[in-house]
Structure 1
């Protein structure tokens, strides 16, 4: 009697991808809670409106461009165009660092406007929301550093695209999250 076995592994999500999606869901819930609290708290008497720093707008363009370079890096990796992959990973890393630097510049602009942490609830929420996003981006930059170092390491040859897919998914997520936060802050402040 012949038994037919069906391989279901193709329909399963990689465990690391599943873990990443659970993490993304948790991060989404955290930011949903923070932005909801922002909406509720803005009706307080001491709420102060503020102008978003221009550096936040520039950082948005940098983040969008870095998503494009990382998408191209993943495509190059899948095509085994390793030279192109290395240069695109390095470009994404540099753009990620520029994004973080522009966020620091943006916070400096806020302090120069007299909007220091601890003075007004509106500013505190801004610092918490944008600061938490910055922490998540910084985590992504650390992974980009590791991935770039691995890309340039000639001794290690790994042709699994899973790590590149993971950082790509995460990086696109923090980019989309940043655009959401920027639009939210523009519309609700």
Structure 2
């Protein structure tokens, strides 16, 4: 008569907790995201340098920044805060807050874009056209480029948030999506604050 088969105990093979991303997953994802941040950071820095150099030439006409830019900045800050709430809620197991926080964060980003379009519409109606003078050309270029990256971020946000809300992703993959989305939002906020400071002081 054969001896009964021995099975490993739970202590020898503990059940793996997938409530949070594994260190390897986060390391790889964050590494790729940081490379992207480095590339985008250099690009925006070069535009800032070109802006600073160009403004000292004789044909530069100072553009008074619309007050709506302050409101738009507040919307972007609020969106970044909401994304961070989603990340911290996920880390602490408060999953009931993750979905609403993600939706609110994305909503503030949409409002930010709408506010930027409002500023553009107001400026063009007042005669500040793209080819009017170098100051307005740089303004449209810088704000438009930043807005484009917001749009790209919203695309990934919508894809990831939809899966998180439907439970279509594993907890591990959802955690990675939330971490990356939050980090991307913080990066765009930092970039905008730098650009806004540059525009406001010139």
Q: TM-score, normalised by structure 1?
A: 0.88
1:88-167 to 2 correspondences below 5 Å: 88-160=101-173, 161-167=175-181
Which residue of structure 1 aligns with residue 40 of structure 2?
27
Which among 80, 83, 89 is matched to residue 70 of structure 1? 83
1:10/1:68 Cα in 2 relative to 1: closer, same or farther (>3 Å)? closer
Other-structure match for 2:17: none
Deviates more, 1:157-166 or 1:106-115: 157-166
Structure 1 segments of 4+ aligned residues over 3 angstroms from their partners: 9-13, 154-157
CA distance in 2, matches of 1:148, 1:19: 20
Unaligned runs of 5+ in 1: 1-8
CA distance in 1, matches of 2:76, 2:26: 27
1:82 positional shift? 2.2
Separation in 2, partners of 1:42, 1:10? 46
Cα shift at 1:58: 0.5
State how many pairs are aligned: 180
Cα contact 2:83–2:105 (8 A) shared by 1: yes
- Structure 2's unaligned 5+ residue stretches are 1-21
Partner of 1:170: 184
| Contact 2:25 2:176 (8 Å CA) reproduced | no
RMSD of aligned Cα (Å): 1.8
Q: Deviations over 1:107-166 (max 9, x none)?
A: 112112211111211111111111111111111111221122112113443334222111
CA distance in 2, matches of 1:150, 1:94: 17
Q: Could you say which residue in structure 1 is the equivalent of 2:13?
A: none
Q: 2: distance between equivalents of 1:12 and 1:77?
A: 16
Distance 2:83 2:147 in 1: 18
The question of whether the paired residues in 2 share the 8 Å contact of 1:62 and 1:99 is answered with: yes
SS across alignment from 1:89: helix
Tell me how far 1:178 sits from its aligned partner. Answer: 0.7
**What is the TM-score when the length of structure 2 is the normalising length?**
0.83
Describe the SS at the equivalent of 2:171. coil
